Structure 1
Amino acid sequence: MLRFVRPLTRSVTYTRWLHLFIGVIVWGMWLFVDTERPYVPVVLLGLLGLIPAVRLAEGLQARLLLSPHGYAESASGIAAESSATWADRWRTALWMEIRLALGLLTGYLTANLLGLSVDLAMAAGGGTGEGELIDVPGHHWWYALLAPLPIAALLAAVVGLGELITAIARRLLGPSAAERLAALEERTEQLLERNRIARELHDSIGHALTVAVVQAGAARTAGSTEFTDRALSAIEETGRAALEDLERVLLVLRESGRPASRRPTLTDADRLLESARASGAKVDAEVTGPVEQLPGPVSREGYRIVQEALTNVLRHAGPVTTRVRIAVADGRLELEVANPLPGPVTSTGRGSGLRGIRERAALLGGKADTGPYDGEWRVHVGLPLDGLR
């Protein structure tokens, strides 16, 4: 029982009823002008639907009166945009015709079912009434028991027609297949951007925290004022760089009008190497080729790959001798970070950091190999440069 009563307690049921009645008003206004040609409103509304701005007006009205979830398009499924193609115009014209037809049906049922209920009530009291749907013969007291039935039928019809007009509005006024595809592509781009930002935060903040932990531990055990000063300087520099990265990411997330700070590239790799050396690691670096001429995306992602690889060295192996090679030659960028294994290999190489390295490489059409090799843990990444300049 509640299933049938619940729609009658929702305000959207009655705003849909109002929306359906608007078609009756248009028809009635025309009949005041010309009763001999009632088909003219049908033609005029069809032509009106071909005007691009009409789709915008109809969409706004439908979202306001038909949606049970409010005005937002994401909740209503009804767009509010002018017609961009002829397909949109024809869909709008069809919507106008269907809306008029359902409006006339709603008006007919409203007037006649209410009239039938009044006729039954009058016949029960000894009066007379002429109903258009059903003639009420004679005068019987039990007609009073039947009088609520037409009203119940009217309310059921209003609920059903309201659901029907809403479903049609979502189909004819909602986004087309091309618009839905474009929205899906935009959403995918947003998710990819957020995933990239999450990886950058992981790499940058993770590197800063790892350096800070290693430096603090080394300073505590060294017992040297000079070493402690160097460690604190390294922690300060690394923390400042991480804060710059964090501020840049927050500017992007907030869609601020302020320009975001420049993202680091492989030309800034010395900063990573010095940070690792300040943590006690002996870094043997080799940089060959025109690194400064690398395409922006490759250079930025390459920096993050080297950063994550060095972070993993400090986190899992400590301040050990590390070999870093950055080479640009033959249309490729080769990155390699290797360090001696501190003991038996227990990691599966499936951590989020290594996964991020592989994802960055795959995104640029390259490949990343990570794992033990000849007594070392090696991260080797090859990225193609063709087509990225």
Structure 2
Amino acid sequence: MSFSLSTVFRPLTRAVTYTRWLHQLIASVAGTLAGFVHGGTFRSTGMEVWLWIALLPVPVLLAAALIPAVRRVEGLQAQLLLTPGPHGPEERAGTGISTSPSLSWRDRGRTAGWLLLRLAVGVPVSALTVQLPVLSFAFLQAAAGHRTHFRGLPAIDAPHGWYALLVPLPLVVLLAVAVWAGSLMAAAAGRLLGPSAAERLAVLEARTERILEHNRLAQELHDSIGHALTVTVLQAGAARAAGSPEFTDRALAAVEETGRQALTDLERALRLLREDVPHPAARPVLADAERLLESARAAGSTVRAELSGPLAALPGPVSREGYRMVQEALTNVLRHAGPVPVSVRIAADAYALELEVRNPMPASPAPAAVGRGLRGLRERAVLLGGKAVAGPDEDGEWRVHARLPLARLR
């Protein structure tokens, strides 16, 4: 029995019950204002007043539904008053109620249906909110032996003490109607004010973009941190083997510079993931490629570089991704072949950007072609409409080659 009583009385202890009640009362405001404008509305008696309040604002509401911003206002109001709990951005997104303006005639039609439903439910609830407490007071007066006759209610000409038993009944009915009507409007809001197909598609596209951005950041971190760790390991090993203070100093300087750049990339990626800055730190581009070449030289490789064309004028996406592709290719050289001679060619013209990295094949080659790094390199090229290949060539060297078109990006 205690469970049943708690189930019955639980809605009365929830704040959302009363915010939903307020939402229903607000619906009759338009009718009340229209009644003041329409002469003679409040000279009517009984339920005629409430009938006028329910009918007079219908044309105005239908016209208001054509305004795109009305749907946004109604959505915000429904989120705040009809849904329980906190109302932060994440919680509001989970209510199933949209706060976007009307984007189509279907949205306007759903908004019109919502406004008419609010009126159809809100006016009767408002009428009961006014009349039922008065009825309870009339029963109380009758129980005290007084004849009562309130406007809109039947007269009680034979007062008696047993009317005291009826005093709580109108209030119980009022609370039950308010709870039921609030639940009805909350459910209807999800259907009539819920996201349209276009909005759901836009949300899905935005979520997909975020996932792709996170995947791109993960690939960048793989390239940057992997390159830094590879250079650090090689420098530490070379410094230990050399036993020269001068070489050790140069190795430590290279490790410091490479580590500092990796930390910058890591901080930028984390700030993007947290979405707490509108303009994150700039990503490196091919104009900064000399830094990669110096890093490889500091790790012990002999790097022969050929850079040609307007690298500084390349489109941003191509230049940034090209930098990462060269970085990944050099990292693979250092990781799998060690400090061997490397040939790097970066050439740009009006039509395409070509990247090529060559190095001698190691005595016991590791399966680099199936690694994540080279797979990511190919994915970067495909996303830009180009192509990348990696593997041994006819001269017995390992060759990474990529061609990225430029005409479509200008």
Band the TM-score falls in, shorter-chain normalisation: 0.7 to 0.9
d(CA) in 2 for partners of 1:112, 1:371: 86
The amino acid that maps onto 1:60 is: L
- Does structure 2 retain, via aligned residues, the 8 Å contact 1:19–1:65? yes
The amino acid that maps onto 2:120 is: A
Answer with 24-33 or 91-100: which moved more.
24-33
1:332: Cα distance to partner?
3.4
d(CA) in 1 for partners of 2:135, 2:388: 79
- Does structure 2 retain, via aligned residues, the 8 Å contact 1:63–1:70? no
Taking a change above 3 Å as real, the CA distance of residues 46 and 366 of structure 1, as seen in their structure-2 partners, is same
The amino acid that maps onto 1:100 is: L
Taking a change above 3 Å as real, the CA distance of residues 342 and 14 of structure 1, as seen in their structure-2 partners, is farther
Whether 1:387 aligns to 2:408 is yes
Find the partner of 1:13 among 1, 14, 17: 17
For residue 200 of structure 1, what is the aligned residue in structure 2?
220
d(CA) in 1 for partners of 2:33, 2:267: 61
For residue 48 of structure 2, what is the aligned residue in structure 1?
none
d(CA) in 1 for partners of 2:378, 2:180: 54
Find the partner of 1:308 among 325, 328, 347: 328
Report SS of the residue matched to 2:27.
Answer: helix
- Does structure 1 retain, via aligned residues, the 8 Å contact 2:301–2:342? yes
Aligned pairs for 1:231-310 (under 5 A) are 231-246=251-266, 248-249=268-269, 253-256=275-278, 260-261=281-282, 263-287=283-307, 291-310=311-330
The amino acid that maps onto 2:276 is: R
1:221: Cα distance to partner?
1.5
For residue 122 of structure 2, what is the aligned residue in structure 1?
103
The amino acid that maps onto 1:219 is: A
The amino acid that maps onto 1:379 is: V
Report SS of the residue matched to 1:387.
Answer: helix
Residues matched between the structures, number: 383
1:297: Cα distance to partner?
1.8
For residue 40 of structure 2, what is the aligned residue in structure 1?
34
Unpaired runs of at least 5, structure 1: 134-138
Report SS of the residue matched to 2:409.
Answer: coil
d(CA) in 1 for partners of 2:62, 2:40: 19
d(CA) in 2 for partners of 1:195, 1:345: 26
The amino acid that maps onto 1:383 is: L
1:278: Cα distance to partner?
1.3
d(CA) in 1 for partners of 2:147, 2:364: 103
- Does structure 2 retain, via aligned residues, the 8 Å contact 1:336–1:380? yes
d(CA) in 2 for partners of 1:373, 1:284: 18
- Does structure 2 retain, via aligned residues, the 8 Å contact 1:341–1:376? no
d(CA) in 1 for partners of 2:29, 2:313: 70
For residue 77 of structure 1, what is the aligned residue in structure 2?
96
- Does structure 2 retain, via aligned residues, the 8 Å contact 1:267–1:292? yes
1:302: Cα distance to partner?
1.0
Taking a change above 3 Å as real, the CA distance of residues 296 and 25 of structure 1, as seen in their structure-2 partners, is closer
Taking a change above 3 Å as real, the CA distance of residues 119 and 358 of structure 1, as seen in their structure-2 partners, is farther
C-alpha RMSD over aligned residues = 4.2
Taking a change above 3 Å as real, the CA distance of residues 58 and 378 of structure 1, as seen in their structure-2 partners, is same
For residue 136 of structure 1, what is the aligned residue in structure 2?
none
Q: TM-score, normalised by structure 1?
A: 0.78
d(CA) in 2 for partners of 1:171, 1:114: 33
1:232: Cα distance to partner?
2.0
Taking a change above 3 Å as real, the CA distance of residues 46 and 323 of structure 1, as seen in their structure-2 partners, is same
Answer with 167-176 or 65-74: which moved more.
167-176
Taking a change above 3 Å as real, the CA distance of residues 119 and 322 of structure 1, as seen in their structure-2 partners, is same
Taking a change above 3 Å as real, the CA distance of residues 157 and 318 of structure 1, as seen in their structure-2 partners, is farther
Report SS of the residue matched to 1:280.
Answer: coil
Answer with 276-285 or 179-188: which moved more.
179-188
1:101: Cα distance to partner?
0.0
Deviations 1:118-176 (Å, cap 9, x if unpaired)?
Answer: 9999999999999989xxxxx999x96x9988766655543332222123333434444
Taking a change above 3 Å as real, the CA distance of residues 328 and 106 of structure 1, as seen in their structure-2 partners, is same
Deviations 1:81-117 (Å, cap 9, x if unpaired)?
Answer: 5556665544433322110101134345667877898
Report SS of the residue matched to 2:342.
Answer: strand
- Does structure 2 retain, via aligned residues, the 8 Å contact 1:349–1:371? no
d(CA) in 1 for partners of 2:200, 2:368: 43
1:16: Cα distance to partner?
0.6
d(CA) in 2 for partners of 1:372, 1:4: 77
Taking a change above 3 Å as real, the CA distance of residues 288 and 47 of structure 1, as seen in their structure-2 partners, is closer
d(CA) in 1 for partners of 2:244, 2:259: 22
Whether 1:229 aligns to 2:229 is no
Aligned pairs for 1:352-371 (under 5 A) are 353-371=373-391
d(CA) in 2 for partners of 1:345, 1:251: 35
- Does structure 1 retain, via aligned residues, the 8 Å contact 2:321–2:380? yes
Answer with 76-85 or 377-386: which moved more.
76-85
d(CA) in 1 for partners of 2:72, 2:367: 62
Deviations 1:170-222 (Å, cap 9, x if unpaired)?
Answer: 34344443334334333433443333333323322332232122112210111
Taking a change above 3 Å as real, the CA distance of residues 85 and 224 of structure 1, as seen in their structure-2 partners, is same
